Amino acid sequence: MRIFHTNPKRYPAFLCTENRVYLARVDPAGKSFVTYIEKPLAAKCIVNDEIVNPDAFVQVIRSMVAEGKLVEKDVIIGVSEVKATTRSLVFPTLKPDEIAQAVEQQSSSFLPFPYHDEYLDWMIIDKEAHGKEKILISAIPKTVIDGYCAVFQKAGLRPVAFESTSLSLFRILPEEAKKSSIAIEAGEVNTLLILGFEGSIEASSVIQETAGIEDKIEKLINYYSGKRTGGTVPESVYICGKNATPEIGQLLNQRLHLKPVFLPAAIVNIPPQKKLELAVLSSLAKKIVDMPEDPQTINVLPEPLAKAYEAQKKHAAMKLFLFVQILLLVLMASVAGYTLWSARADRMVIERENMQNMQNGQMEPLNVDAAYTKAIVSADGLAHAVGSTINVLLKTSVEGVTVKGISYTQEAGSVTVSGTAHSRDHLLAFQDAIEKTGNFSQVTIPLSSLEEETDVTFRMVLQTK
């Protein structure tokens, strides 16, 4: 059960290539590096994205952690596109579990390895005409991810997200460029090419030989423009990377008539000569991390790590929820205290008036106990009812349920809990879990909250004892 969402968190990001490893962390505004370290790797430490010398790699990571004085253990890891697959598919409008099934059914048509040998995630890019939606898919072989997991965990770190270079590169493209463009990350060992079309990555390819790169790019553009974009040819090529040079831009402009646009890192505190090299790293460090089940983000992550990350996020959300509710209780206690003080003050005034009136023989004394008692009961009932509900919600955990509000009705002696649930079954399981606590005499869900089978917005009335 998620109580509510917290703000996006900035994680340390490691970008791994065959020759070196980069570490960066951006400030909350995403404008500067608060940590930046670069270390070379021994020859053949990583070959074709596979870690061949894990012991040497662990030592490098540990030295970077020590030098950067990293306290944060959760990290993002960026890997090259050599064995990764990034692809767009179009489906009819489907539910999330149906999309996952459809991706698996079509996987043999676009994955170079068997489906069950890959870690895969997807996100919804756009709703298209005629009830269709575009899905962006990222897949990385398990052998690659498992190798990185072992190294980083041995170094005392916890991976919370893996991302291939194509996604990091696409993220830094201007919005207009994502509609139709070519983007290139010219690295030390190989060059990554992605084709952006209608807000998504239509295709990606890695070119490992730099000689004759313009010929290879021309063939790829001609192939994908015909196959994937209905003949639409991009007008611009966006370039970044360690080996991004003006000569590459001029060559592509002369040969392919593409307008070169360089993509420097939007980070203020790095030298100008490093901005093209660190563009992908800066994008990786700005990645918004969420659970793999989130349909709006891509996060390739092994299931055990996903479960651990989910438990960690739930614990943090619970702590924040408890803190907020304690503040509310303090506020309510203050209101209750003021109510009692006000009632006592009114009682003293009435008693003084009674004494004066009785001395003057004008009237009988008024009964002030009823109003005073009502104020006490009202304040005590509010604090007790809301406090009990908070305790139950903190002890009752049901996946797929998000609580968004709590309200107390004094006259009815009930608490209303509102929120959302992934499905009717999740909501009923939540109701059953609360009933089993024995804290409430009755737990009721209005029929209007049970009409929808999925994406349920609900109200639940808890009758206090």
Let me know: does 240 contact 262? Beta carbons within 8 Å: yes
For residue 339, the model assigns a pLDDT of 59
Q: pTM of whole model > 0.85?
A: no
Cα angle 31-33-38, degrees, rounded to a multiple of 5: 145
- The tokens of 199 are what? 């807000």
- Could you report the per-residue pLDDT of 277-318, keeping only the tens digit for each? 999 999 999 998 876 567 777 888 887 776 666 666 655 555
Residue 276 sits at φ, ψ, to 5 deg, of -70, -40
348-380 as b/e: b if 16+ CB within 10 A: eebeeebeeeeeeeeeeeeebeeebeebeeebe
φ, ψ for residue 66, nearest 5 deg: -65, -45
pLDDT confidence of residue 312: 63
Pairwise CA distance, residues 57 & 53, whole Å:
6
Position 374 scores a pLDDT of: 42
- Residue 170 and residue 194 in contact, taking contact as beta carbons nearer than 8 Å: yes
DSSP reduced 3-state for 237? strand
Check residue 255 and give its pLDDT: 85
DSSP state, residue 300: B
Integer Cα distance of 77 and 450 in angstroms: 42
For the residues of 354-398, what is the DSSP string, one character each? HHHHHHTT--PPP--HHHHHHHHHHHHHHHHHHHHHHHHHHH---
Question: H helices within 118-245, ranges in order?
Answer: 142-154, 165-171, 213-227
Residues near 319 by beta carbon (within 8 Å), at least 6 away in sequence: none
Structure tokens at 372: 């005073």
Low-confidence residues of the chain, pLDDT below 70?
Answer: 1-8, 128-130, 209-212, 224-232, 291-293, 306-391, 393-397, 410
Q: Residue 43 has which token pair?
A: 């020859």
> Which pLDDT does position 1 carry in this prediction?
36
Token digits for 147?
A: 């190798």
Cβ pair 441, 417 in contact under 8 A: no
Domains, the chain, in order of start with CATH, read 1-172+274-301 (3.30.420.380), 175-262 (3.30.420.40), 316-464 (3.30.1360.100)
Residue that is written with structure tokens 């952690």 in the block: 65
Residue 144 corresponds to which tokens in the numbers above?
Answer: 């690659």
CA pair distance 353, 404, nearest whole angstrom? 48
Pair of tokens at residue 445: 């869900």
Q: What is the pLDDT of residue 296?
A: 77
The pLDDT value recorded for residue 150 is: 95
Among candidate residues 286, 133, 119, 107, the one with its CA nearest the CA of residue 199: 133
Position 288 scores a pLDDT of 86
Residues 382-428 pLDDT 10s: 555 566 666 676 666 677 788 777 777 767 778 888 888 888 888 99
CA distances 315 to 1, 159, 228, Å, are 10, 18, 44
Q: What residue has token string 């006490």?
A: 376
CA separation for the pair 290, 166 (Å, rounded): 19
46 and 57 Cβ atoms separated by less than 8 Å: yes
